[in-house]
């Protein structure tokens, strides 16, 4: 059986490694009958579609092969074509290719030169490998076991030493973050001595905030690749969603803690901390991937272990600040 992981990690990183150049091309006035004859008479490397080009060879539109084969003979390709999605160049990276594939009217991505002339396309069978390779790469980054696609195979099938080396960097960051959390908790030693029950709910607040933030990260990592809305609008929407989720969880938390411990003030602290920490985590789950995307890096680098460390610190800080304010 072929090694699927090896196939993914050995996949070309740039678009140039996926391009096929012998494509069906035609002018807008070409009829469907003429296009069908050309398809039968001329060998091509890919027949996902017929690319409609102008006199200079620049893509004007694209007609899916099914449409070409079933259209009436006199219909022109100019009448049948759909607008071309994003065109990319051969030196673009694989992630750009994966994102462009999602915005195409056909299962192929046009590749152009610096002058915008069509030089080839990435066909459907190659796009399947590209999308899988990007998925594997992002999943490894999200859990912090690989910094680039070449390490994905070693994270699972390499030597014990290499597996550990691929995972340790982010875990060392987590260790440093946990030390900061410990220091932060020690700053509230007096509060814990007076109200030991406050400590009972630290894991719950941290877990819920992490879960809310992780959901936002998962959406942001891929969504940022093809959503072009301003940050303010995106952040406002995520904060509102996080607040609504946090408010719902708080509505369950407050009566549960109150009934369990008979302490309405502590129940209010926990509920308010869940609401606030959940809202903050939702915003952070968008901001960190967005920041990495604007810096030209894969948004997945700004999620996973890094985001978890920051969320844990903020969640603990939020919880104890609220506890001190309401229980002192």
Residue ranges and CATH numbers for the domains of the chain are 4-132 (3.10.580.10), 167-327 (1.10.357.20)
- H-helix or E-strand containing 261? helix 231-261
Residue segments in the chain with a per-residue pLDDT below the cut of 50: 1-10, 148-149
What are the pLDDT digits (tens) for 121-176? 998 888 888 777 776 666 666 655 555 445 555 555 566 777 677 667 777 877 88
pLDDT reported for residue 164:
72
Kindly report each contact of residues 177-183 with a partner whose C-beta sits within 8 Å and lies 24 or more positions away, as own/partner: 177/308, 177/309, 177/310, 177/312, 177/313, 178/312, 180/313, 181/312, 181/313, 181/316
pLDDT reported for residue 26:
94
pTM of the model as a whole: 0.63
pLDDT reported for residue 23:
92
pLDDT reported for residue 9:
43
């Amino acid at each position: 059986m072929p090694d699927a992981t090896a196939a993914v990690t050995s996949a070309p990183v740039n678009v140039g490694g996926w391009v096929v150049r012998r494509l069906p091309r035609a002018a807008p006035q070409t009829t469907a009958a003429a296009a069908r004859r050309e398809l039968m008479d001329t060998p091509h490397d890919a027949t996902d579609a017929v690319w409609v080009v102008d006199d200079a060879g620049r893509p004007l539109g694209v007609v899916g092969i099914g449409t070409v084969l079933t259209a009436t003979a006199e219909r022109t390709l100019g009448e049948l074509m759909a607008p071309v999605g994003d065109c990319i160049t051969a030196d673009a990276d694989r992630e750009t290719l994966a994102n462009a594939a999602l915005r195409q009217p056909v299962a192929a991505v046009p590749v152009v030169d610096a002058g915008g002339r069509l030089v080839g396309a990435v066909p459907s069978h190659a796009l399947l490998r590209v999308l899988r390779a990007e998925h594997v790469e992002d999943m490894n980054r999200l859990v912090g076991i690989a910094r680039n696609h070449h390490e994905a195979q070693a994270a699972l099938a390499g030597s014990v030493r290499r597996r550990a080396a691929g995972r340790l960097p982010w875990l060392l960051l987590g260790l440093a973050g946990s030390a900061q959390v410990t220091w932060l908790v020690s700053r509230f030693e007096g509060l814990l001595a007076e109200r030991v029950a406050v400590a009972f709910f630290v894991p719950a607040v941290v877990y819920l905030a992490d879960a809310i933030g992780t959901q936002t990260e998962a959406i942001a990592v891929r969504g940022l690749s093809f959503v072009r809305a301003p940050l303010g609008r995106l952040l406002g929407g995520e904060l509102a969603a996080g607040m609504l989720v946090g408010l719902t969880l708080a509505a369950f938390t407050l009566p549960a803690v109150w009934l369990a411990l008979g302490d309405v003030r502590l129940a209010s602290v926990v509920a308010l901390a869940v609401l606030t920490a959940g809202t903050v985590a939702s915003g952070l789950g968008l901001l960190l991937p967005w920041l990495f995307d604007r810096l030209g890096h894969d948004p997945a680098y700004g999620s996973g272990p890094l985001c978890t460390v920051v969320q844990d610190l903020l969640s603990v800080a939020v919880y104890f600040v609220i506890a001190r304010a309401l229980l002192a």
